[in-house]
C-alpha cells in the first residue's frame, strides 16, 4: 500500500467519504482511517479524528497517535470517546435530558478555536436544541481545561489537555465541520480549528 501524500499540515481521518459537513474540501487532507499506519505524520501538525472512526482500530494504533502528540502534534477528537486510544482521554456519557435547558451550552475557559463564538449559537441550531452535544465527558485528565459545558449541572463537553509537547482537544458531540456554513458565529469554529491544529491560532 502506498503512503498517502499530503499537501496540507492538517489531516482529517474519516471512514468512507462522509465528512459530516457541507461543501467541497480544499483546506485539509482527507485520509481514510485505515491508511493511518502508512501516513507519514512527520509532515503533519494536526489531526482531526472524525466522529465515525473505528475506535477499536485507533486503540490498536495508540502508540502511533501518542508519539505524534507527545512529539508536538495536535489532535482534535470529534464525537464520543469510548476507548483509551490516547492517554488521558475522558469517557463519554449520555446526558439525561428533558428539555432545552438540559442541553444548553455555556462557556468555560476561552480557547482560540471558539474565539468570537456565542454559546447561544451552539445551544440552538435551526431552532433545535441538542445538535451540538447530547452528552458529556467524565474522568478528565489532570490539568484539563474545560472550554464548554452542557446542561443545568455544567458538565464538560469540550476540553483540552497537554500530552507531552503536544495537545489533545476533545469535542464530545457532532463534527464541528457541520457549522462552517452556518449564518451565525458558529461558522467561525471550523476555520479556527484548522488554524489551531496547524499552529497558526489567534485569540481574537
Reported as a single tens digit per residue, the pLDDT across 59-89 is: 999 999 999 999 999 999 999 999 999 999 9
Nearest Cα residue to 111 out of 77, 75, 69, 145: 145
CA dist., res. 202 & res. 109, Å (int): 15
pLDDT tens by residue, 103-148: 999 999 999 999 999 999 999 898 788 889 999 999 999 999 999 9
Domain ranges of the chain: 10-197
Return the percentage of the chain with pLDDT > 70, whole number: 89
pLDDT band of 202, cuts 50, 70, 90: low
In which band, very low, low, confident or very high, does the pLDDT at 25 lie, cut at 50, 70 and 90? low
Q: Return the CATH class of domain 10-197.
A: alpha beta
Q: List CB contacts of 96: < 8 A, sequence separation 6 or more.
A: 102
The number of beta carbons lying within 10 Å of the beta carbon of residue 124 is 17
What is the value of pTM for the model shown? 0.90
Considering the chain, what percentage of its residues have pLDDT values greater than 90? 77
Strand 135-138 vs strand 91-94: parallel, antiparallel, or unpaired? antiparallel
Amino acid at each position: 500500500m502506498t503512503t498517502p501524500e499530503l499537501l496540507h499540515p492538517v489531516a482529517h481521518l474519516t471512514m468512507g467519504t462522509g465528512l459530516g459537513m457541507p461543501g467541497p474540501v480544499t483546506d485539509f487532507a482527507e485520509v481514510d482511517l485505515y491508511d493511518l499506519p502508512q501516513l507519514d505524520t512527520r509532515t503533519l501538525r494536526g489531526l482531526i479524528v472524525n466522529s465515525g472512526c473505528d475506535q477499536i482500530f485507533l486503540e490498536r494504533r495508540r502508540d502511533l497517535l501518542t508519539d505524534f502528540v507527545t512529539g508536538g502534534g495536535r489532535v482534535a477528537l470529534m464525537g464520543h470517546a469510548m476507548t483509551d486510544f490516547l492517554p488521558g482521554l475522558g469517557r463519554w456519557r449520555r446526558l439525561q435530558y428533558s428539555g432545552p435547558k438540559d442541553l444548553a451550552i455555556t462557556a468555560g475557559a476561552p480557547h482560540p478555536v471558539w474565539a468570537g463564538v456565542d454559546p447561544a449559537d451552539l445551544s440552538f441550531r435551526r431552532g433545535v436544541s441538542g445538535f451540538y452535544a447530547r452528552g458529556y465527558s467524565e474522568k478528565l485528565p489532570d490539568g484539563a481545561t474545560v472550554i464548554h459545558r452542557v446542561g443545568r449541572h455544567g458538565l464538560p463537553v469540550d476540553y483540552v489537555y497537554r500530552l507531552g509537547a503536544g495537545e489533545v482537544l476533545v469535542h464530545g458531540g457532532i463534527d464541528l465541520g457541520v457549522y462552517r456554513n452556518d449564518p451565525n458565529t458558529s461558522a467561525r469554529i471550523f476555520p479556527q480549528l484548522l488554524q489551531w491544529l496547524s499552529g497558526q491560532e489567534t485569540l481574537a
